[in-house]
C-alpha cells in the first residue's frame, strides 16, 4: 500500500503552524508496512484541493487528508471529496448527538453551522472523534482508500490510533510490516561514513540503509520489511553487526537519544557527580544538562567564568598559566576542570574554553577549542578542536564534543 498525505489549511502555507500531523502519520504508517511517498499541503480552496486529490490518485492507493472538517465555510474537505467520488453527505446521528450534548453541557448556544460537523460521506466507515466534534471517515472507491481526519492534533492522533489503524490493518493487501532502527554516530562526518559503508549502501535491498545528517551528528536508519517481527529484527541485527565492525567506535546510541541524554544516563548508572566550568559556551552545557529530569542526582553546579579574573578567583587557574599559555589553551582547560571539581566537590569536572568568533583571541583563530576533564581517578585530560561555522554552531558543537569525550572516558 502506497500512501500520500494531504494537509489542508491556508495557515500551514502561511507558516502560522507547522504540519506536525504529517510527521505523526508517517511515523504511524511505517510500522504497518505502508509506504509514504508524498506529503502535500494545500490551502482552503476547493479547486486546488480537487487537483491535489486527482494527482494523489495517480500515485497512491491510500490518500489521507487532514483538516477541513470543521463548521466554517472554509472547512470544505468532505464536501470536495464527496463531489469527486460522486457521493452524498448524510448526518451521522451519533456524532450529532455528541455535538448537541457538548453544547448542552457547556451551557452554550449551538449555532446552526455546527451541525455541519456531523455530516459524513454516505459510503464511509465513520471514525469516532472522542476528543472533539467532527468525526473522521474512511472510504474505499475505485481501488483507492481515502481517510479523512480532523486537523487539531489532539483530535487526529487518538482518532488514528484508536480507529484509523484498525481500518488500515483490516484492509492491508500484505501483512509485511516495517521495522526501523536508527544508529547515531558522532566524531565522523557524513561523507566519511558513507565512504566506509558505500558497498553496503549501494547493494542494499532488505534491510535498507538511509544516511541522515543533522546538528553535527550522523545517523543511519536501518529498515527491514518482514511479516515476522523476530526475523525482521534479526535482519537488522545482522546488518548492524557489519556496520559496527567498520565504524562502531563512533556509535553512541540508538533512535531518539542524544549525546547529552546518554551522558546523563551514564552518570546516573555509575552514580557519578559532575560540575562544569564554561568560558566560550557561556552555560550552554549546564543548560542542556538540566533539561533532563533526575539530573539533580548527578549535577552539582556550573560556573560561567568568562574573564581571566574569574578563572583565577573562582576556579583557581594559575596566574602563571594564563600569562604563559593564555586562557585559550590546554593548560587552562585542565586547570578549569580541576578547579571546578575541587570547588564543587564532585567526581568529575569538565571545562570549555576557546574562540567562538567572530574575531581572533590571544592570537588564536576562530574555532580553536579546548575541553578539559578531571576524572574520578584523579587523572586530567584535555582535548583540542578546530571547528568551523557560526559563533552559535561552534558553541553548540563544542558542547556535543564535551559530551562525546566524557562518554568515551566513562
Q: What is the pLDDT of residues 227-261, one digit of tens each?
A: 888 999 999 999 999 999 999 999 999 998 999 99
Rounded Cα gap, residues 407 and 69, in angstroms = 50
Query: Model pTM?
Result: 0.72
Give the chain's domain count.
3
Residue 317 backbone phi and psi in degrees, to 5 = -70, 135
Query: What does the mean pLDDT of the chain come to?
Result: 94
Q: Mark whether 129 and 158 lie in a shared domain.
A: yes
Residue 188 class from Cβ within 10 Å (0-12 exposed, 13-18 middle, 19+ buried)? middle
Residues 15 and 163 in one domain: yes
The whole domain housing 213 covers 177-254
Is pLDDT of 173 > 70?
A: no
Q: Which of 131, 58, 20, 52 is nearest to 28 (CA)?
A: 20
114: CB partners within 8 A, 6+ apart: 71, 99, 103, 133
DSSP 3-state assignment of 352? strand
Mark whether 58 and 14 lie in a shared domain. yes
Residues 185 and 165 reside in one and the same domain: no
Provide mean pLDDT across the span 268-272: 97
Q: Which residues contact 205 (CB under 8 A, 6 or more apart)?
A: none
214-218, 286-290, 335-339, 369-373: least confident range: 214-218
The whole-number average pLDDT for the span 69-91 is 94
Q: Could you tell me if 226 and 160 lie in one domain? A: no
Whether 274 and 160 share a structural domain: no
Per-residue pLDDT of 133-170, as tens digits, reads 999 999 999 999 999 999 999 999 999 999 999 999 88
- HSE, CB side, 13 Å, CA atoms: give it for residue 272: 22
DSSP states of 26-55: HHHHGGGT-EEEEEEEE-S-HHHHHHHHHH
How far apart are the C-alpha atoms of 330 and 102, rounded to whole Å?
67
Phi, psi values for residue 137, rounded to 5° = -160, 155
Q: Is the pLDDT of residue 211 over 90?
A: no
Which residue, of 254, 283, 315, is where some domain finishes? 254
What pLDDT, on a 0 to 100 scale, did the predictor assign at position 175?
Answer: 64
Same domain (yes/no): 54, 131: yes
Amino acid at each position: 500500500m502506497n500512501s500520500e498525505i494531504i494537509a489542508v489549511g491556508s495557515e500551514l502555507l502561511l507558516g502560522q503552524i507547522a504540519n506536525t500531523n504529517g510527521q505523526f502519520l508517517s511515523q504511524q504508517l511505517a510500522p504497518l508496512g505502508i509506504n509514504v511517498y508524498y506529503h502535500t499541503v494545500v490551502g482552503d480552496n476547493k479547486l486546488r484541493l480537487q487537483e491535489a486529490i486527482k494527482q494523489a490518485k495517480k500515485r497512491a492507493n491510500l490518500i489521507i487528508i487532514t483538516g477541513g472538517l470543521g463548521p466554517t465555510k472554509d472547512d470544505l474537505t468532505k464536501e470536495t471529496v464527496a463531489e469527486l467520488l460522486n457521493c452524498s453527505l448524510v448526518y451521522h446521528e451519533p456524532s450529532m448527538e455528541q455535538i448537541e450534548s457538548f453544547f448542552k453541557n457547556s451551557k452554550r448556544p449551538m449555532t446552526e453551522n455546527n451541525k455541519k460537523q456531523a455530516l459524513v460521506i454516505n459510503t464511509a466507515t465513520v471514525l469516532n472523534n472522542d476528543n472533539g466534534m467532527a468525526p473522521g471517515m474512511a472510504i474505499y472507491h475505485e481501488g483507492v482508500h481515502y481517510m479523512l481526519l480532523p486537523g487539531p492534533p489532539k483530535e487526529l492522533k487518538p482518532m488514528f490510533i484508536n480507529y484509523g489503524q484498525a481500518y488500515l490493518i483490516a484492509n492491508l493487501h500484505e501483512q509485511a510490516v516495517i521495522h526501523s532502527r536508527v544508529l547515531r554516530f558522532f566524531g565522523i562526518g557524513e561523507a566519511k561514513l558513507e565512504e566506509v559503508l558505500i558497498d553496503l549502501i549501494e547493494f542494499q535491498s532488505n534491510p535498507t540503509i538511509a544516511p541522515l545528517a543533522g546538528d553535527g551528528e550522523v545517523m543511519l536508519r536501518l529498515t527491514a520489511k518482514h511479516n515476522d517481527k523476530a526475523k525482521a529484527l534479526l535482519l537488522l541485527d545482522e546488518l548492524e553487526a557489519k556496520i559496527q565492525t567498520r565504524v562502531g567506535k563512533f556509535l553512541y546510541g540508538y533512535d531518539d537519544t542524544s549525546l547529552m541524554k546518554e551522558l546523563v544516563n551514564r552518570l546516573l548508572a555509575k552514580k557519578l557527580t559532575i560540575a562544569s566550568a564554561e568560558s566560550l559556551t557561556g552555560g550552554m552545557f549546564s543548560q542542556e544538562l538540566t533539561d533532563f529530569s533526575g539530573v539533580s542526582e548527578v549535577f552539582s553546579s556550573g560556573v560561567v567564568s568568562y574573564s581571566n579574573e574569574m578563572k583565577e578567583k573562582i576556579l583557581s587557574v594559575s596566574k602563571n598559566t594564563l600569562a604563559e599559555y593564555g586562557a585559550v589553551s590546554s593548560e587552562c582547560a585542565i586547570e578549569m576542570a580541576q578547579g571546578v571539581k575541587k570547588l564543587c566537590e564532585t567526581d568529575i569536572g569538565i571545562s570549555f574554553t576557546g574562540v567562538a568568533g567572530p574575531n581572533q583571541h590571544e592570537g588564536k583563530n576562530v574555532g580553536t577549542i579546548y575541553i578539559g576533564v578531571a576524572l574520578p581517578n584523579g587523572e586530567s585530560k584535555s582535548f583540542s578542536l578546530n571547528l568551523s561555522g557560526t559563533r552559535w554552531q561552534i558553541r553548540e558543537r563544542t558542547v556535543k564534543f564535551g559530551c562525546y569525550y566524557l562518554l568515551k572516558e566513562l
